[in-house]
Amino acid sequence: MATGEVRVLRPFKLIALVCLLVALALDVVALLSPAWVTSERGSLSLWEACKRAPDVLHCLSTLRTDWQVATLVLILTAATIILLSFLASLVSFCLGTPRRYYRVVAVLLSVAVVLQVCALILYPIKFIDSSMLKTYHEFNWGYGLGWGSAIFMLGAAILYCLRTDVYEDTYY
């Protein structure tokens, strides 16, 4: 930068990076959550289904049904894409080469949003079809965190699509 030049720093890419970090954290917590669906007699997560007997809590793996495996694979793939996008944008932000990776990150995040939303739509539809708990049930906080992660991913993808460099010449 020469003497007398002013560089305008817009926080959009930094906000997008923070959104990516929040989306990754929410996705990890949603994946590890023991409560995606709860009822009076049990609970269901992405990994196991637990039923309460009068004195004992009996848990079985949920990886036997194809729709639960598909949901888990879709969310794990989205989480992996978020992690790769976060690392690429962090490296780009720290090295000062902002335009090089942002389009790739935006496309990757769009794919991750589609995968996550597909998983979050598939899960309740197939759960209600299978009626696993056969009682009154609620979709709990783990499922909600999955939606929260999808919203933050979408926000980050939109922020990475913004081209703030086009309008910088009008300020000088």
pLDDT score of 65 more than 90:
no
The average pLDDT across 105-116 equals 93
- Domain ranges in the chain are 11-34+65-163
What pLDDT band is residue 4 in, cutting at 50, 70 and 90?
A: low
What pLDDT band is residue 118 in, cutting at 50, 70 and 90?
A: very high
Rounded to whole angstroms, how far apart are CA atoms 48 and 35? 10
pLDDT at 56: 80
Q: For tokens 């976060």, name the residue.
A: 86
Would you state the structure tokens that stand for residue 82, as one six-digit string?
A: 């978020």
What pLDDT band is residue 2 in, cutting at 50, 70 and 90?
A: low
Q: Which residues contact 25 (CB under 8 A, 6 or more apart)?
A: none
Determine if the pTM surpasses 0.95: no
The average pLDDT across 138-149 equals 91
The average pLDDT across 111-136 equals 84
What pLDDT band is residue 95 in, cutting at 50, 70 and 90?
A: confident
pLDDT at 100: 67
